[in-house]
Amino acid sequence: MKASELFFPTLREVPSEAEVLSHQLLLRAGFIRKATAGVYSYLPLANRVLKKIMSIVREEMDRAGGQEVILPIVQPAELWKKSGRWEVYGDEMFRLKDRHNRDFALGPTHEEIITTLVDADVHSYRHLPLLLYQIQNKYRDEIRPRFGLMRGREFIMKDLYSFDIDEEGLDISYHKMYAAYNRIFQGLKLQYRVVEADSGAIGGNESHEFMVLAENGEAEIVYCENCDYGANTEKAVCFLEESKAEEEQLEREKVHTPGQRTIQDLLDYMSIPKEKQIKTLIYYADEELVAAIVRGDRELNEIKFKNVLGCNQLFMADEAAVKQLCGAGFGSLGPVGMPLKSYVDLEVSQMKNFACGANEDDYHFINVNLGRDFTPAGINDIRNAVAGDSCPVCSAPLYSMRGIEVGHIFKLGTKYSEAMEANFLDQKGKERPMVMGCYGIGISRTMAAAVEQSADENGIVWPLPITPFEVIIVPVNSKNEEQMQAAWSLYEEFKQEGLETIIDDRDERAGVKFKDADLIGIPLRITIGPRSLQEKQVEVKKRTAKDPELVPLDVVSSRVKLMLKEMSKQ
């Protein structure tokens, strides 16, 4: 490919809207452009990377017995009503009407469509198991589309659905996918970890997430170095350790705390440690206002809380509504005398003599005790796990790090087949629901994750398996005919050898060309300067190396091929 013809509009400045590295670099290096919030165009370089990711994914899906299909993006509301998800999906679903005023959705996922499809034509155990997959755009009107491709509203996903006759069959399909996903992320040369998702919290449905490790990851994961355990902090089970020494209950007191609203305020004002305070957070669970209570230094886990409540929608209440019902604004709330149902975190049930708001602005209670001073509607695990918590498997202290969820595999069981009536006749002629699993990989998110994990101050450093091109030839002076001639003949030779090559034939200064080559992240750069012609040598430089090596002109292509082979083994 000639750089003069390649559409890769690079930018020198860091675009102000881009907060994370991958977003900045993909914009700067001319890979993507924003159409609107969370919706991007993929330019030629990005397209090449995406195709390589997809081809690795396809290979493994096919190897595991998957068959590729293309399912509709425009999906009728009836199917979603049948599964009960038309309401549950809420605002994240893009909805539209046709000219007859009928409701449709742009597919955020495809369980409804595929279950209906399979139901219509598969009736016997003889045609199962069946593994169908597609690679296609998904549409989700995310609350916070951000970080470029990381959380888009239109994004590319590979989704596979497995249909089996029973749980054992599902186990086999699930493990095939688990293995295939490991091969994929190893093949992509990404550093990742597999973590448990929803481990047990909602009744034993097995689920794993594949997390690419990166400082800017949206997810925090906890993992154990003593055993294999790993989980998303949001989903990790928090263990309640044996209660420490009993503490005597003290008399509750109301104290004047003018202007003190936060946990930190109370620590500074009255030296009450965060572990001796509780946080009271008010939410709308569908229509009803409820209170969630966690220890002062903990974070409420909205997913766990929502599971406990069993509601469809959960969102934070506005201060006006809270004030009207509870008599105080945020910062002065607490469960004592509160007219709402309160749900406390497990850990709070062990706390004694703690402080909380008194439901009166500028007042707090101290020495509050659960049971004596208030009775919660529930005591459950509703906080995020943190480093230092005990491993739920072996009790060793957990560590934490950040990750980007690139893949998610899930045992669905008969949830959708029962709702959509996808049955088959077993060997005895008995009708049974199919047992399903679903398995997703964020293709566009994986591209961003790769950049996030592999870049330096000069730009992207593509992992070899997904680099848009393998080699870039840079003639230092494009006005020098001899240099250009040498560059072109090398380019032709590389093409013959099947190397994916860019020749930077643009009429630009050498500095500009070097900067662009680094920015777009091509693994090998060949520089042809005056010396190449005098001494018949060219500079070959790895994107990650500080210095180039000199290689005789007539063996360059062999040397380049060898270097690429070595790099592919690393």
Q: Does 407 bind ligand ATP (CB under 6 A)?
A: yes
Minimal distance, residue 151 CB to ligand ATP, in Å? 4
State the minimum distance, in angstroms, from the CB of residue 90 to ligand ATP: 13
User: How far is it, in rounded angstroms, from Cα 537 to Cα 549?
Assistant: 10
> Minimum distance from CB of 70 to ligand ATP (Å)?
18
Applying CB under 6 A, which part among 68-76, 94-102, 129-137, 437-445 lies near ligand ATP?
Answer: 437-445
- 511: which 2 tokens? 């500095």
Stretch of residues binding ligand ATP (CB under 6 A), selected from 352-360, 405-413, 480-488, 505-513:
405-413
Shortest distance (Å) from residue 517 CB to ligand ATP: 29
Phi, psi for residue 176 in degrees, rounded to 5 = -60, -45
Residue 566 Cβ, how far from ligand ATP at the closest point, in Å? 31
Instruction: Give the residues across from 189 on adjacent strands.
Output: none
Give the Cα separation of 121 and 185 in Å (integer).
34
- Region binding ligand ATP by CB under 6 A among candidate stretches 221-229, 279-287, 401-409, 551-559: 401-409
Q: Angle of helix 44-63 relative to helix 443-453, nearest 10 degrees?
A: 110
How far apart CA 295 and CA 267 sit, in angstroms, is: 13
Residues near ligand ATP (CB under 6 A), total? 15
Please enumerate in sequence order all residues whose Cβ is within 8 A of that of 222, keeping only pairs 6 or more positions apart, or say none. Answer: 230, 231, 233, 236, 385, 386, 387, 389, 398, 399, 400
Smaller CB distance to ligand ATP: residue 419 or 553? Answer: 419
Binding mask 75-114 for ligand ATP (x = CB under 6 A): ----------------------------------x-----
Task: Select 235 or 279, whichever has its Cβ closest to ligand ATP.
Answer: 235
Q: Among residues 344, 401, 388, 355, which one has the least CA distance to residue 239?
A: 388
Q: Is 293 helix (H, G, I), strand (E, B) or coil?
A: strand
Interacting residue with ligand ATP among 43, 61, 105, 157 (CB under 6 A): 157
Of the candidates 164, 405, 452, 516, which one interacts with ligand ATP according to CB under 6 A? 405
- Which span (172-180, 342-350, 400-408, 477-485) binds ligand ATP, by CB under 6 A? 400-408
125: tokens are 């155990």
Q: Which is nearer to ligand ATP, 232 or 277 (by Cβ)?
A: 232
Determine the interface stretch with ligand ATP among 298-306, 440-448, 511-519, 523-531 (rule: CB under 6 A).
Answer: 440-448
C-beta closer to ligand ATP: residue 216 or 342: 216
Give residue for tokens 């491993």: 391
Q: Distance between CA atoms of 367 and 370, rounded to whole angstroms?
A: 10
> Is 442 among the residues that bind ligand ATP (CB under 6 A)?
yes
Q: What is the closest distance, in whole angstroms, from the C-beta atom of residue 406 to ligand ATP in the complex? A: 5
User: Is 205 within 8 Å of 171 (Cβ atoms)?
Assistant: no
- Rounded to whole angstroms, how far apart are CA atoms 177 and 163? 13
Q: Quick count: other Cβ atoms within 10 Å of Cβ 215?
A: 11
Q: At closest approach, how far in Å is the CB of 109 from ligand ATP? A: 6
Closer by beta carbon to ligand ATP, 199 or else 332: 199
Binds ligand ATP by CB under 6 A, chosen from 110, 408, 525, 541? 408
Shortest distance (Å) from residue 122 CB to ligand ATP = 24
Residue 465 tokens read as 């398996």
Q: Is 400 helix (H, G, I), strand (E, B) or coil?
A: strand
Helix (H) or strand (E) holding 32, with range, is strand 32-36
Question: Which residues, numbered 126-155, are part of the site for ligand ATP (CB under 6 A)?
Answer: 140, 142, 151-152, 155
DSSP letters for 454-498: SEETTEE---GGG-S-SEEEEES-TT-HHHHHHHHHHHHHHHHTT
Per rule CB under 6 A, is residue 362 in the interface with ligand ATP? Answer: no
Task: Find the shortest distance in angstroms from Cβ 190 to ligand ATP.
Answer: 12
Spell out the residues 6+ positions from residue 456 whose beta carbon is closer than 8 angstroms to its own: 544
* Amino acid identity, position 544: T
In angstroms, give the least distance from the CB of 65 to ligand ATP: 20
CB nearer ligand ATP, residue 70 or residue 245: 70
- Residue 525 bridge partners (DSSP): 472, 541
Among 30, 440, 459, 463, binds ligand ATP (CB under 6 A): 440
Largest CA distance in the chain: 92
Residue nearest to ligand ATP (CB): 442
Site string for ligand ATP, 444-483 (x = CB under 6 A): xx--------------------------------------
Name which of 155 and 354 has its Cβ closer to ligand ATP: 155
The span from the CA of 343 to the CA of 536, in Å, is: 77
Residue 437: strand, helix, or coil: strand
Which is nearer to ligand ATP, 147 or 330 (by Cβ)? 147
In this complex, which beta carbon is closest to ligand ATP, that of residue 219 or of residue 370? 219
Quick check: 91 and 141 in contact, CB under 8 A? Answer: yes
Please report how close the Cβ of residue 449 comes to ligand ATP at its closest, in angstroms.
8
Q: How far is the CB of 158 from ligand ATP (least distance, A)?
A: 8
411 counts as binding ligand ATP under rule CB under 6 A: no
Instruction: Scan residues 529-558 and list those touching ligand ATP (CB under 6 A).
Output: none
Check: CB of residue 305 under 8 Å from CB of residue 283: yes
Burial of 38 (0-12, 13-18, 19+ CB in 10 A): buried
Please give the Cα distance from 466 to 52 (Å, whole number): 5
Residues that bind ligand ATP (CB under 6 A): 109, 140, 142, 151-152, 155, 157, 405-408, 440, 442, 444-445
